Amino acid sequence: MNRSLRPPLLAVCLACLWPAAGSAMELCHLRKTPDGFVALRAGPGPQHRLIARMKPEDEVQYGQGRQGKWVEVTRWRGDSRLEQDGFSKGVHGWAFSPLIAKDCG
């Protein structure tokens, strides 16, 4: 393969790791609920499988998906996203948007 046609490896890796312009990672908090948790579901609606019971101290980041009042999110328990070896992978699912703090999304 002609070396001049290959993209620089560093540029490819940075493109994978860095958010696109205008999509800075904004972490949101959950509202307190009477039952003490916000459901993280496998799909956009209460009929979908429960993945996790998110607590108010957990952090979520909005994803691309939206369906009605349901939003796609990634969730981290407390501040677990900051592990010793760097940024940890969160749990992906759907949440009911009125239960996410208004200062986000």
Write out pLDDT tens, residues 55-104.
988 889 899 999 999 999 999 876 656 555 545 678 999 999 999 987 67
Around Cβ 41, how many Cβ atoms within 10 Å? 19
Tell me which residue has tokens 């509202």: 31
CB atoms within 10 A of CB 44: 19
The pLDDT mean for the chain works out to 76
